[in-house]
């Protein structure tokens, strides 16, 4: 039982789980905002389109009529059977707005991640940042400078690895052949 609670504690305290929880809460709040916008503003505008004897984008399947205060015959929407196309259109609008905003949020997050990857995950230390700022570099230029430095270090390390790499049998045999050819001439 202790092992179970220990594993559960590790799971809960990971950053990913906390990020997921925050994302879900923000997503729920944002969905409420979009739903209010769509139902409160867009839906009345779309339902104002007249269709047949009933106002709104609906298809009446089984109308039920009642009498109003003046004795006129009117459709009782609470007891009638109908298809509400306005609700369907609003669900689509709701989805598109939510998807658009999520796309913009994810695009911003990916942009931040790409900048962090350019830095190689390392942060600029205060001294280097101050030196680069003194040279008149902005943040983007600093990131590019650090990325170039990192690429240069990686290229040097690769060149050193190639230089220290032991020769293969084929390379040794090729060199011997070249020596033998030069001696025969």
Convert the pLDDT of each residue in 128-170 to its tens digit: 777 888 888 887 787 778 778 888 888 888 888 777 766 677 7
Q: Which long-range contacts (CB under 8 A, 24 or more apart) does 44-52 make?
A: 46/86, 46/89, 46/90, 47/86
pTM of the complete model? 0.45
Q: How far is CA 82 from the centre of its chain?
A: 39
pLDDT tens sequence across 74-92: 888 888 888 877 778 888 8
């Amino acid at each position: 039982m202790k092992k179970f609670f220990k594993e559960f504690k590790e799971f809960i305290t990971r950053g990913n789980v906390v990020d997921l929880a925050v994302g879900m809460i923000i997503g729920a709040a944002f969905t409420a905002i979009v739903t209010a916008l769509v139902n409160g503003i867009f839906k009345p505008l779309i339902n104002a389109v007249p269709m047949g004897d009933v106002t709104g984008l609906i298809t009446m399947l089984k109308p039920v009529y009642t009498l109003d205060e003046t004795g006129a015959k009117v459709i009782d929407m609470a007891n009638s059977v109908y298809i509400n196309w306005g609700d369907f259109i609003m669900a689509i609008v709701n989805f598109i707005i939510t998807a658009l905003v999520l796309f913009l949020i994810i695009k911003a997050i990916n942009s931040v991640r790409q900048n962090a990857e350019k830095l190689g995950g390392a942060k600029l230390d205060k001294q280097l940042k101050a030196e680069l700022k003194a040279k008149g570099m902005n943040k983007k230029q600093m990131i590019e400078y650090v990325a170039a430095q990192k690429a240069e270090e990686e290229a040097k390390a690769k060149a050193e690895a190639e230089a220290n790499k032991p020769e293969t049998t084929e390379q040794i045999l090729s060199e011997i052949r070249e020596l033998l050819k030069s001696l025969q001439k």
